[in-house]
Amino acid sequence: KCIHQLFEEQVEKTPNQIAVVFGDEKLTYAELNLKANQLAHYLQKLGVKPEVIVGIYVERSPKFIISLLAVLKAGGAYLPLDSTLPQEALEFRLQDAQASVLIRDWE
């Protein structure tokens, strides 16, 4: 099974258990799954499917986990991008991987 499928099994078993803690932020399995599903549906509308690479340019946070799960649920492949890299290096990685979608930090 894929990681997102194992995650969904855990959601069914323990939806109200805390899945992610980051500073003062806490998300249950159900909350994390809901947010990942919402983003996954949006990514699919953008054309994400198997073999489509999605760049993830999000700081370490629950948003990164949401983004990663969403890409996997949409069927795509993720490319984590380090925000400490120079702009040219980030652009090169995106072009080299032929990433067609980029997830950036959001509010």
51-90: pLDDT as tens digits: 899 999 999 899 999 999 999 999 999 999 998 999 999 9
Say what the pTM is: 0.91
Residue pair 54/102 in contact (Cβ under 8 Å)? The answer is yes
Residue pair 26/18 in contact (Cβ under 8 Å)? The answer is yes
3-state secondary structure of 51: coil
Residue position matching structure tokens 């370490």: 60
Amino acid identity of 43?
A: L
Give the tokens for residue 47: 């054309």
9-51: pLDDT as tens digits: 999 999 999 999 999 999 999 999 999 999 999 999 999 999 8
